Amino acid sequence: MSILVDRDTRLLVQGITGREGAFHTAQMLAYGTRVVAGCTPGKGGQTVAGVPVYDTVAQAARETGANASIIYVPARQALDALYEAADAGLGLIVCITEGIPVLDMLQAARYVAAKGARLLGPNGPGLISPGRAKVGIMPAHIHLPGPVGVVSRSGTLTYEVVWALTQRGLGQSTCVGIGGDPIVGSSFVDILALFERDAETRAIVLIGEIGGTDEEQAAAFIRSEVHKPVVAFVAGQSAPPDQRMGHAGAIISGGQGTAQSKIEALQQAGVRVAAHPEQIPELVLKS
């Protein structure tokens, strides 16, 4: 088992004819992901890496049976792309795009949820179920199938932690990037709940960072609802005060969102918190 994507995922790529869309479509196909369609308005009838391109998401989903979408379009077009994917009835929408205005995401997140779809991102690397499907931009070669679920706000930290796990022989069930913006479609709590229900996932790694209160909310959820061992790392422990660091969501305000407050909340929930990413495999093995 895995969460969200597997060998039955039928993926549609929005923005497939652009540079990033075309490049990552080829990468996902090479991994074995079933990319069944692409969409770029006005480019219908073309193909990219053998994948048929349609003018609308609705037509692509109808004719190919696509059940998931990944969005590689510029920020100014992302809101329309999100609406179109939700209106087409796709169950999973992954948005890689950076720089989407907060107001647009407030509207989009509410709209997608009302349509019954799950949104990952924006400003995230997507997800991968090793050996089954890759949906996004994660480097495939660092992953190994196994029992550790990974959920993260940071793309590059995810890669570092996954590589450390793989080198110790600790494979992953699914690795999920929720995105680093202030407004994202799925929270730590949403993904933790899926991992808790997944029979294949036997341990969970959570990678957080300063800003917001998502990690504190995750800690409360872990305390009451998660029975599997959880190991965490919180980035930004040495960040200068009163400065925004990294992602748009990494903003400390009113004394909330500091690395220390997050670490304390997680530890009080029984989570082993690593001092640095390379320590995570050892803590997982001890869990």
Catalytic machinery residues: 247
Using alpha carbons, select from 184, 178, 205 the residue that is nearest to residue 282: 205
Task: Tell me the chain's radius of gyration from C-alpha atoms.
Answer: 18
Our CA dihedral for 189, 191, 196, 198, rounded to 10 degrees, sits at 170
Query: Which ranges in 115-258 belong to alpha helices (H)?
Result: 155-167, 188-197, 214-225
Work out the angle between the directed axes of helices 102-114 and 75-87 (0-180°, nearest 10): 10
Using alpha carbons, select from 62, 73, 59 the residue that is nearest to residue 13: 73
Residue with tokens 């407030």: 106
Using alpha carbons, select from 16, 8, 203 the residue that is nearest to residue 96: 16
Query: Are the CB atoms for 162 and 149 separated by under 8 Å?
Result: no
DSSP string, 138-164: --GGG--EEEEEEEES-HHHHHHHHHH
CB atoms closer than 10 angstroms to residue 264: 14
